[in-house]
Amino acid sequence: MMGFEIVILWSDLLIWLLVAAGVALGVLIARNPPLLAAWRRVGANRIGMASATVLLAFVLVGLLDSLHYRVALEGKPGQKVQYAVEVLSVLDALATPLRTRNEKTYSEPFATRLYAKETIDVPGQGSVREYPRLKHGGQHLGEREGEVAADAGFTAFRAVALAFVVWMALAGLAARVAGDGNTDGWRRIWRGDTAFAWNAVLIACGLILLIAVPLFSLSGQYHVFGTDKVGQDVFYQVLKSVRTGLIIGLVTTLVMLPLAVLLGIVAGYFRGWADDVIQYVYTVLNSIPGVLLIAAAVLMMQVVIDTHPQWFSTAAERADLRLLALCFILGITSWTGLCRLLRGETLKLRELEYIQAAQAFGVSNGRIILRHILPNLMHIVIIALVMDFSGLVLAEAVLSYVGIGVDPSMTSFGTMINNARMELGREPVVWWSLAAAFSAMFILVLAANLFADAVRDAFDPRAA
Amino acid sequence: MLAYIVRRLLYALPILIGVNLITFALFFVVNTPDDMARMQLGVKRVTPEAIQKWKVERGYDKPLLWNAEVGGLAKATETIFFEKSARMFVGDFGRAEDGRDIAREIASRMGPSLAIALPTFLLGLFVTISFALTLAFFRATAFDFWGVVLCVAMMSISGLFYIIGGQYLISKVWRLVPISGFGAGLEAWRFLILPVLIGVVSGIGSSTRWYRTIFLEEVGKDYVRTARAKGLPETLVFFRHILRNALIPILTGVVVVIPLLFMGSLLTESFFGIPGLGSYTIDAINAQDFAVVRSMVFIGSVLYIVGLILTDISYTLVDPRIRFE
């Protein structure tokens, strides 16, 4: 039994904190009839629930990648245990073959040979220039190199069969829940008679299984998305990028939210000099073009990090802190829009009769804000949260390209694209890294956009 | 009107001072000039003398806010804040790391930036408004539905993909236009056509969806019903009434970005090797040239505030109900 030490990175802490906050919010919503009704409307939206299912799959990958540990190194008994420098996650452990089976350099998806020619010594023929066999991709085929398609097809077929079995189990479970004690649950789902969009969820689950199960089973023997310049599996990089994207999209809102809500309500409710100061601050921040403010702040952060190497014990910790700093900077630069919305809405609310009645009864300001104003702003907050997410994921890629994104050692969609963008100039074209990064990002952002639309339709009182 | 504009300009002054203070705090207080010197000089050559020399060359050796060693007014003027931050108000941006005058560099790079940004802006506006109007005309049909789906899909694609994909397909595979570069005079159009096209396409998704909701809001209004009631054909209702009225929120919404067109686009310019302000900024970020980044932040905010003022003025021009008060 190998020992290990649990490592809790700051971003892990925050992401699990967010999960806890999500659960707490769920409990709160369940007790609040109007919010519950709104979420029921989201639940009835087929496109919304299908995209929520896809998002959940991404979140699952991200959460698995947020449990970190360090393996204990082999040492003499009795000695103090030393731990490896490399920080691994549960996802790394699950995907060990993907992580460790590196090739020398580029190779195409499902290739058995390297992208570049090399001089190899062939017994009897001297040295020959040819494409060397990959160390891992398709190695189990041995001499039967030409049978890649048949072998991969067979593996994929088995995986699809497995996916179907799993899906049937899920469908059965859903039918029991939707049937609510009756036996006709399956028929109701099929016809779309259920209040919750079970059929959309099941279709989305089916699609995810249909794609994910074959991908995972094939990736044991092949590099399904090829390998990059240093021979790392691109599929593994895509999986690792998910966490970075999620953290940028979620933790940023965690930074932005308290600022926007607190200042927005204070400005709108108390007015007077507090309003003037807050308005001044957000007008100033707003008038600096976003990218430039981020660039300036990130440059300064880099100087701080570079001049204080003693703060970080591992490279992972440094990259992690830099990621959080980026979230923090993005949060500081993006709270102004939501703050302005909330201020305007609070200004409207405070003139309504029930608030004035509360004031006349002598209810304290804090209590009025908490019990009467805040609940009535929740729909704006929730809409803003889901709308911002997709924009932040896209922004990460652009910022990493500009050189003010995440640490270059951290895998993200942006760094993947940045490393691969010169490769289209090669002959033959190295397209797979870019294609994989762009498609994964597209699916994540599209799901987030569609889900955001569903949430907005359900929560926005104007769009009835 | 003039009084109004003057008042708005005066109101903009405290905001600019705020921007100036923020950039000053970011660039000189969060990190001292010593830190910046160490960063620029690299780890190997860092000696106290080298740092001092670096600071003297750039004028960073003075106190931040208050110089107690000199007398009179110079107490406030012989400081980093006055020389580096306050002097930006009169257009003096100092020198970049390569020794060139930043103000002159900015003036010469505005042209290429505008050559890309202006056609992209105008063509993009035309294309997205036409597309949105068509979608609104065929509202609640399959065409509208799939149009919106297309928009959502297009806005879910990373901007980088449009640029990389466009360059690959049009320049490398089809060899229609040069892949990047910039030419002077009339020859420039061959270099401009691809970045403009890509800029327009990448903006279609989000803008069309936004304009479509504006059109749909207008469609439900009373004057539209009146127009239909007097027997106008639907096309005429759209072009004569709805389009005109919807243009008010659309145009006033885009006026704010017009001054920012001078700044160019970071991504497009750096991918296409266009010597504009966007690529200037990116180069400065990569070279960690703090003076240039600081200047660009300041200019960007000035242009944004100009945009805000223009927006207010444009409201009153297109909508006679709004008065300057």
Q: Under DSSP, is residue A71 helix (H, G, I), strand (E, B) or coil?
A: strand
State the Cα–Cα distance between residues B67 and B49, nearest whole angstrom: 22
Residue A73 domain flag: no
Closest partner residue to B296 among A292, A446, A449, by Cβ?
A: A292
Chain A residues 59-98 with a CB less than 8 Å from chain B: none
The single residue listed with the structure tokens 């106190």 is B63
Average pLDDT over residues B185-195: 82
State the Cα–Cα distance between residues B222 and B250, nearest whole angstrom: 20
State the Cα–Cα distance between residues B19 and B22, nearest whole angstrom: 5
Q: Is the pLDDT of residue A463 over 60?
A: no
Q: Given CA atoms A191, A195, A196, A197 in this order, what sign does their dihedral have?
A: positive
Q: Is the pLDDT of residue B137 over 90?
A: yes
Contact status of A446 with chain B (Cβ, < 8 Å): yes
Q: Is the pLDDT of residue A314 over 80?
A: no
Looking at residue B325, its pLDDT comes to 52
State the Cα–Cα distance between residues A243 and A144, nearest whole angstrom: 38
Contact status of A401 with chain B (Cβ, < 8 Å): yes
Residue-level length of chain B: 325
Those residues whose C-beta lies under 8 Å from the C-beta of residue A377, and which sit 6 or more positions away, are: A261, A264, A265, A342, A345, A346, A349
CA distances from A288 to A150, B27, B303, B314 (A): 58, 15, 9, 22
State the Cα–Cα distance between residues B293 and B283, nearest whole angstrom: 10
Q: Interface pTM (ipTM) of the complex? A: 0.88
State the Cα–Cα distance between residues B306 and B12, nearest whole angstrom: 9
Average pLDDT over residues A291-313: 82
Looking at residue B27, its pLDDT comes to 81
Looking at residue A464, its pLDDT comes to 42
Contact status of A355 with chain B (Cβ, < 8 Å): no
**Helices A272-287 and B290-318, axial angle in degrees (round to 10):** 110
Q: Is the pLDDT of residue B268 over 50?
A: yes
The single residue listed with the structure tokens 């020389």 is B83
Pairwise pLDDT comparison (A330 vs A424), residue with the higher score: A330
Pairwise pLDDT comparison (B65 vs A216), residue with the higher score: A216
State the Cα–Cα distance between residues A368 and A258, nearest whole angstrom: 18
Residue A405 domain flag: yes
State the Cα–Cα distance between residues A194 and A200, nearest whole angstrom: 11
Residue A299 domain flag: yes
Residue A206 domain flag: no
Looking at residue A361, its pLDDT comes to 92
The single residue listed with the structure tokens 């599209």 is A446
Query: Using an 8 Å Cβ cutoff, are A149 and A159 in contact?
Result: no
Angle CA A195–A23–A259, to nearest 5: 115
Those residues whose C-beta lies under 8 Å from the C-beta of residue A425, and which sit 6 or more positions away, are: B172
Contact status of B292 with chain A (Cβ, < 8 Å): no
CATH code, domain carrying A273: 1.10.3720.10
| Percent of the residues in chain B that have a pLDDT greater than 90, as a whole number | 27
Q: Given CA atoms B317, B318, B321, B325 in this order, what sign does their dihedral have?
A: negative
Q: Is the pLDDT of residue B25 over 80?
A: yes
Q: For A318-354, how does the pLDDT look when each residue is reduced to its tens digit (9 = 90+)?
A: 888 889 999 999 998 889 989 999 999 999 998 899 9
Instruction: Examine residue A34 and say whether the peptide bond preceding it is cis (omega within 30 degrees of 0).
Output: no
Average pLDDT over residues B47-55: 79
Q: Is the pLDDT of residue A85 over 80?
A: no
Closest partner residue to A300 among B27, B159, B305, by Cβ?
A: B27
From chain A, pick out residues whose CB is under 8 angstroms from the CB of B18.
280-281, 283-284
Q: For A168-194, how does the pLDDT look when each residue is reduced to its tens digit (9 = 90+)?
A: 898 888 888 877 666 677 777 777 777
Average pLDDT over residues B176-203: 84
| Percent of the residues in chain A that have a pLDDT greater than 90, as a whole number | 29
Which of A205, A196, A170, A166 has the alpha carbon at shortest distance from A55?
A205
| Percent of the residues in chain A that have a pLDDT greater than 70, as a whole number | 97
Chain B residues 115-154 with a CB less than 8 Å from chain A: 152-153
Query: Using an 8 Å Cβ cutoff, are B302 and B106 in contact?
Result: no
Model confidence band, residue A387 (pLDDT cutoffs 50, 70, 90): confident
Pairwise pLDDT comparison (A26 vs B41), residue with the higher score: A26
- The answer to which of A182-191, A229-238, A428-437, B93-102 has the lowest mean pLDDT is A182-191
State the Cα–Cα distance between residues B27 and A299, nearest whole angstrom: 9
State the Cα–Cα distance between residues A124 and A329, nearest whole angstrom: 63
Residues of the domain holding A432: 241-459
Mean of pLDDT over chain A: 86
Q: Is the pLDDT of residue A92 over 90?
A: no
Is residue A373 exposed (0-12), middle (13-18) or buried (19+ Cβ within 10 Å)? buried
Instruction: Dig out the tokens for B177 from the structure.
Output: 């236009």
Which of A185, A157, A162 has the alpha carbon at shortest distance from A173?
A185
What's the DSSP call for residue B85? Answer: I
Any alpha helices (H) in A192-271, and if so which ranges? 198-219, 234-270
Residue A289 domain flag: yes
Looking at residue A181, its pLDDT comes to 65
- The answer to which of A5-14, A69-78, A319-328, A340-349 has the lowest mean pLDDT is A69-78
Average pLDDT over residues A133-161: 83
Looking at residue A1, its pLDDT comes to 47
Report the DSSP beta bridge partners of residue B95: B101
State the Cα–Cα distance between residues B58 and A33, nearest whole angstrom: 63
- The answer to which of A123-127, A221-225, A280-284, A389-393 has the lowest mean pLDDT is A123-127
Contact status of A19 with chain B (Cβ, < 8 Å): no
Contact status of B272 with chain A (Cβ, < 8 Å): no
Q: For B216-238, how does the pLDDT look when each residue is reduced to its tens digit (9 = 90+)?
A: 999 989 999 999 999 999 999 99
Q: Considering the entire predicted model, what is its pTM?
A: 0.91
Q: Is the pLDDT of residue A2 over 70?
A: no
The single-letter code of the amino acid at A238 is V
Model confidence band, residue A265 (pLDDT cutoffs 50, 70, 90): very high
Q: Is the pLDDT of residue B55 over 80?
A: no
Complete DSSP assignment for A323-354? HHHHHHHHHHHHHHHHHHHHHHHHHHHTTSHH
The single residue listed with the structure tokens 């030490």 is A5
Average pLDDT over residues A44-62: 92
Average pLDDT over residues A51-70: 92
- The answer to which of A302-306, A396-400, B130-134 has the lowest mean pLDDT is A302-306
Residue A328 domain flag: yes
Which range has highest mean pLDDT (A416-420, A421-425, B68-72)?
A416-420
Contact B158 A398 (CB under 8 A): yes
Looking at residue A205, its pLDDT comes to 92
Domain count, chain A: 1
Give the minimum alpha-carbon distance from A376 to chain B in angstroms, rounded to a whole number: 25
State the Cα–Cα distance between residues A60 and A56, nearest whole angstrom: 6
Q: Is the pLDDT of residue A442 over 90?
A: yes
Residue A220 domain flag: no
Pairwise pLDDT comparison (A238 vs A100), residue with the higher score: A238
Which of A286, A253, A296 has the alpha carbon at shortest distance from A383?
A253
Looking at residue B197, its pLDDT comes to 93
Residue A337 domain flag: yes
Q: For B282-295, how does the pLDDT look when each residue is reduced to its tens digit (9 = 90+)?
A: 888 888 888 888 88
Closest partner residue to A424 among B36, B157, B164, by Cβ?
A: B164
Contact B18 A284 (CB under 8 A): yes
Contact A449 B155 (CB under 8 A): yes
Looking at residue B136, its pLDDT comes to 93
Q: At B14, which helix (H) or strand (E)? A: helix B2-24
Q: Is the pLDDT of residue A373 over 80?
A: yes
Please report how many Cα atoms fall inside a 13 Å half-sphere around the Cα of residue A1, on the Cβ side.
2
Query: Using an 8 Å Cβ cutoff, are B47 and B325 in contact?
Result: no
